[in-house]
């Protein structure tokens, strides 16, 4: 399974969608084994690099979109997520990918956009370019960094009908895309899981919170043996770390339920739909 995450607009959540949704999706589909290749087409600022140490599900690398040899190798990889990166010219890169026979093998294109008029322009252009090379491509628009109700935040895109997945103001050639929309909620814990733990929220959501709480109880018992402020620093620090861990696992489970699982369902639906 190959998923390509792209938008000619920068900073719309391409890397976040790649790591937090697309890679875990493939990992689950592969029976929760091995690691999913996450390839970023930006050798200068490989944003996903932070996962390389600790993530149990992602293996990151960076490629140059104009390096023909690298692209040919990529065509041989069976499962991967391609993050188009922030430094490539989408249409030029797509042309390279098409030439290297990669676009033909992409199962799903995901195009994230945030709530800005310019984002829509770039998004629809990106969709046009994808269709130019792959007329029957399966494309999901990912409403990214949603912090309220997506129907409110994206009302100018979706129309004022308040029926997010059924009707929208996307018309004409884009009308069909209305059924291929999914929301990606904003969460401060995305950057926290990545920055502090080097993991995705999906991975955090899989952890057993009762184990962490048992460890917290044990450490609290240790701390209780000392007078206030007299406990060894290591125990204090370990307790703080467990507290952070507990909080993030709790938040990750909420995020999983609210955003990741529905996203997986939407992706399955699009993948299983007839072209």
Ligand X SMILES: Nc1ncnc2c1ncn2[C@@H]1O[C@H](COP(=O)(O)OP(=O)(O)OP(=O)(O)O)[C@@H](O)[C@H]1O
Nearer to Mg ion, 82 or 263 (CB): 82
Q: Is 47 in the site for ligand X (CB under 6 A)?
A: yes
Q: Which is nearer to Mg ion, 14 or 204 (CB)?
A: 14
Largest CA distance in the chain: 71
Positions 187 through 216 that interact with ligand X (CB under 6 A)? 187, 190-191
- Chain positions 84 to 103 lying near ligand X, rule: CB under 6 A, are 85-86
> Which residue from 7, 15, 84, 153 is in contact with Mg ion, where contact means CB under 5 A?
15
DSSP H helices, 12-67, are: 14-17, 23-29
Per CB under 6 A, 116 contacts ligand X: no
Q: What is the rounded CA–CA span in Å between residue 144 and residue 138?
A: 18
Rounded Cα–Cα distance for residues 184 and 114 (Å): 10
Q: Considering only residues 15, 46, 123, 168, which one is a binding residue for ligand X as defined by CB under 6 A?
A: 15
Q: Quick one: CA dihedral 54, 58, 17, 180, positive or negative?
A: negative
Least distance to ligand X, CB of residue 17, Å = 7
In the numeric block, the tokens 């799903």 are attached to: 108
Cα separation, 38 vs 59, whole angstroms: 6
Using the rule CB under 6 A, give the single segment among 62-70, 161-169, 184-192, 220-228 that binds ligand X. 184-192
Q: Which of 3, 46, 47, 154 binds Mg ion (CB under 5 A)?
A: 47
Counting residues that bind ligand X (by CB under 6 A) gives 18
Task: Classify residue 75 by burial, with Cβ atoms within 10 Å: 0-12, 13-18, 19+.
Answer: middle
Residues 6+ apart with CB under 8 A from 25: 3, 263, 264, 267
Contact footprint for ligand X (CB under 6 A):
10-16, 47, 85-86, 144-145, 184-187, 190-191
Contact footprint for Mg ion (CB under 5 A):
14-15, 47, 86
């Amino acid at each position: 399974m190959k998923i390509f995450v792209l938008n000619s607009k920068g900073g719309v959540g391409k890397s976040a969608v790649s790591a937090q949704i697309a890679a875990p999706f493939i990992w689950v589909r592969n029976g929760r084994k091995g690691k999913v290749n996450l390839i970023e087409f930006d050798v200068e600022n490989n944003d996903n690099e932070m996962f390389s140490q600790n993530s149990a599900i992602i293996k990151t690398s960076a490629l140059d979109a104009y390096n023909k040899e690298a692209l040919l190798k990529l065509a041989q990889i069976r499962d991967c997520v391609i993050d188009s990166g922030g430094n490539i010219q989408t249409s030029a890169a797509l042309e390279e990918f098409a030439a290297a026979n990669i676009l033909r093998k992409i199962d799903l294109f995901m195009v994230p956009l945030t709530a800005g008029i310019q984002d829509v322009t770039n998004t629809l252009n990106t969709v046009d370019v994808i269709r130019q090379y792959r007329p029957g491509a399966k494309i999901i628009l990912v409403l990214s960094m949603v912090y309220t109700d997506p129907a409110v935040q994206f009302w100018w895109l979706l129309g004022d009908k308040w029926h997010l997945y059924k009707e929208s103001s996307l018309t004409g050639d884009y009308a069909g895309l209305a059924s291929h929309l999914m929301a990606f909620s904003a969460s401060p814990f995305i950057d926290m899981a990545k920055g502090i733990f080097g993991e995705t929220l999906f991975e955090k959501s899989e952890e057993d919170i009762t184990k962490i709480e048992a460890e917290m109880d044990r450490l609290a018992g240790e701390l209780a043996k000392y007078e206030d402020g007299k406990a060894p620093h290591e125990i204090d620090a370990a307790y703080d770390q467990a507290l952070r861990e507990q909080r993030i696992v709790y938040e990750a489970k909420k995020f999983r339920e609210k955003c990741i699982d529905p996203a997986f369902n939407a992706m399955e639906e699009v993948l299983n739909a007839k072209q």
